[in-house]
Structures are given as structure tokens and as C-alpha cells.
Structure 1
Amino acid sequence: MAMCDYYFAASDEAAVGVLDAPGGPDPSVFDVLSLKGIDPVVVMARLEGLLTDCAYDEARARPRSGQLLSDPEAETAFVISVSDILRDALASATDDQLGLVAGPFGSVEEVGLPPAEALELLRLLSGLARRATAGNQRLYCWWAL
């Protein structure tokens, strides 16, 4: 299962800089949320669709949605951007809104979580997004195979 560490950084360059050290973003430097198997391309676009009431294809076509920022020839780890629209939707979501999408999100084939676990995951992502927006930073995913 792929390792997916979500974190925020002030710039794409700072975000890609995590590849210089083994093991992904350093928790002493970055606010890191490890979510094994919650990939930044398909799953995050599905979540964006649920939170913003748009189709998956529309969410995937938005700027920064699952955009590869690191070397495409890398063999072990990549840095992928998370759309600002998803970051903002997560940051502004109330617990009730997260509860409404927890069931559909958990039932996404790539997620496969019961609603209660999906809600906890969404709460963690929402908290990370709130901290990112408070510091005017963007969300990223360090994705290791």
C-alpha cells in the first residue's frame, strides 16, 4: 500500500524539498498527516467532488488537482499538489458537512472505510487544511510506493 503523507508548505519548491531527505516530510519541520492508501489524485478528486458538489472529472481538471511537482522519473517517491479549492472546502467545512460526506467518501472504492472511520479521517484532513489556510500555505502529498 502506498504511503501518503499530507502536509503544507509555503511554496512548491519547499514542498518538493522533502524529497531531499529519506522518509518524506520531517514532522519536526512540517505538519504531517499520514494516510496510507489515500492517494492524492483519485481519492482527493473524489473528495473534492463530494465537498464542492461537482463531478469527479471537473474536480480532476481544476488547477493543482493531483499535479505532479517532482521528477516524473523518480522511482520511489513523488510530491503531488492538492487543489486550493479542496483545501479551502476542507478548511471551511463544518462537522455536520463532514458528516454528510463521510458515508459517500468512505464507500469510494479506493477508500473503503465505514462512515465513522471516514468521518475521523475527514476531520483530520479538515484540521490540516485549517492550519494551512491560517498560514496562507498550500497542501501537498508525499507519495511513496
Structure 2
Amino acid sequence: MGVLTDYFRAPDATTVVRALERTEGGSPVLTGFGLDGVQAKRLDPDVVLGELVAAVCRVPWSPDLVAEVSVWPATPEPGPDGPASEDDPWATGPWVTELDTAVRDALAGVPDADVPAAVARWVRSEELHGALAEEMQPLAEELIGLARRARAAGERLYCWICL
């Protein structure tokens, strides 16, 4: 089973929830709702995006590098025993998280001239084992461009995740 991840920008969580309600939880990037975004299959925010943030900031990756707040589903997160049933939206997804503005600003702030070196550091991460910088650079540039547009518009970055 693969994990699908799409990153997008929006003015606020209320806009995101409205989009998800209209699309029955579909990706705001793919459903024609009009939110600017990037398809990034298997690029989870905690680790793989965190590795990119670490690479552009030239710091070691750490689990707290990408702070997130849950936006969807709108129901409370399950307790320590997990979702109550398969009908629970926390069991089936999709999930959307709002990324900390520090993530947006780190990506938006990387100078164009530094992107190739950052990508070279990024692909050395264990999670991207075997990936080539030439293959990953376009995705990194898309994510950086998305972050720049979000920062310029005063918007936040979000990640839609689905199994």
C-alpha cells in the first residue's frame, strides 16, 4: 500500500476544511478546487520533507523539525488505543495537516543557487536511498516555489495524506 501526499497552500484551515467538505476529502490539488499545490507521492512531512528542510537549512534532521497541526478529519484524534473502528476517519484517511510557518519560510528562503547543493544533501538521506539528485531536483524546486508563493501571499502550507 502506498502513501499519497500532496502539498498545497491556503489562507487558513477554515478554507482547507471547506475544500475537503466539498470534495469529500479529496486532494485539494487534484479536485479542481483551485488550491495551488504539488503532488509528492510518498513524501511524508515528518521525515522526507523534514530531510529536505534539514538540507536547505544545513542542519541535522530531527523529529521536531517539521511541526504540524491536524486540520482534517474534523473529529478529535483517537486516543492511545487508536481508531475505534474502520469507519473512524482516523483509520481510513485522508488526513490533512497544517505545517509550521518555519517550514514554509525555510523552503521559501533557500536561494536558487543553493538548491542543487541542498538536493544533493537531501538525496543522501536514508529515506531517499537510491534516488538521484537530477530526479529529485524538480520536485524540490516545485516545493520551494510553492513555499515562496505561500509566503508572498501570507498563506500557510498544508499536507494532504491518504493511504
Using the size of structure 2 for normalisation, the TM-score is: 0.77
Contact 2:4 2:42 in 1 (8 A): yes
Structure 1 residue 50: deviation in Å? 1.6
Contact 2:70 2:96 in 1 (8 A): yes
Name structure 2 gaps, 5 residues minimum: 78-82, 84-88
Distance in 2 (CA, whole Å) between partners of 1:140 and 1:48 is: 15
Pairwise mapping of residues 88-99 of structure 1 onto structure 2 (< 5 A)?
88-99=105-116
Distance in 2 (CA, whole Å) between partners of 1:14 and 1:28 is: 11
Contact 1:82 1:138 in 2 (8 A): yes
Runs of 4 or more consecutive aligned structure 1 residues displaced over 6 Å after TM superposition: none
Alpha-carbon displacement from aligned partner over 1:14-69 (angstroms, at most 9, x marks no partner): 22333321421034420021111111121122222222233322xx435x623333
Distance verdict in 2 for CA 1:53–1:107, change over 3 Å: closer
Distance verdict in 2 for CA 1:17–1:67, change over 3 Å: same
Larger CA deviation: 44-53 vs 66-75: 66-75
* Aligned mate of 2:71, from 69, 72, 76: 69
Distance verdict in 2 for CA 1:67–1:47, change over 3 Å: farther
Name structure 1 gaps, 5 residues minimum: none
Using the size of structure 1 for normalisation, the TM-score is: 0.85
Contact 1:9 1:15 in 2 (8 A): yes
Distance in 2 (CA, whole Å) between partners of 1:48 and 1:37 is: 16
Identity %: 27
Distance in 1 (CA, whole Å) between partners of 2:6 and 2:19 is: 11
* Aligned mate of 2:53, from 36, 48, 64: 48
Could you say what secondary structure the match of 1:69 adopts?
strand
Distance in 2 (CA, whole Å) between partners of 1:39 and 1:138 is: 17
The equivalent of 1:133 in structure 2 is: 151
Structure 1 residue 12: deviation in Å? 1.8
